[in-house]
Amino acid sequence: MGSIREKLINAAGAYSFITVTSDSKVLVEGCQQIIECTEILVRLRTNRFEVEVWGRDLFLTSFTNSSIEINGRIVSINLERRKRGESK
């Protein structure tokens, strides 16, 4: 059922979702900031992670309410947990 804290975090949109549709499309929901965007690297900040998408000919589309779609030739996706208290 989950604790009250977990319910509050979920209700506040603290969770992010990454959907890999193919090797050419990734959707990141819950994105707070675009840190870097080049043809080979897209770095995003979510509530709990920094997300790196590596590939070739990468570009961003579909910017809607903290959701970002990344297109191009996706090679790898890396997650790094953000430290508690790290600035948003």
Per residue in 50-73, pLDDT (tens digit) is 999 999 999 998 888 789 999 999
At 68 the pLDDT is: 94
Tokens of 80: 């790094």
Residue extents of the structural domains in the chain: 16-81
| Whole-angstrom distance, CA of residue 77 vs CA of residue 2 | 29
Span 74-80, average pLDDT = 96
User: Which CATH number is 16-81's, of 3.40.50.10490, 3.40.50.360, 2.60.40.2000, 3.30.1490.20?
Assistant: 2.60.40.2000
- Asked whether residue 12 carries a pLDDT value surpassing 60, the answer given is no
| Whole-angstrom distance, CA of residue 50 vs CA of residue 34 | 10
At 84 the pLDDT is: 67
Residue 7, H or E segment: helix 4-11
Kindly report the pTM of this predicted structure.
0.79
At 66 the pLDDT is: 83
- Mean of the per-residue pLDDT values for the chain? 86
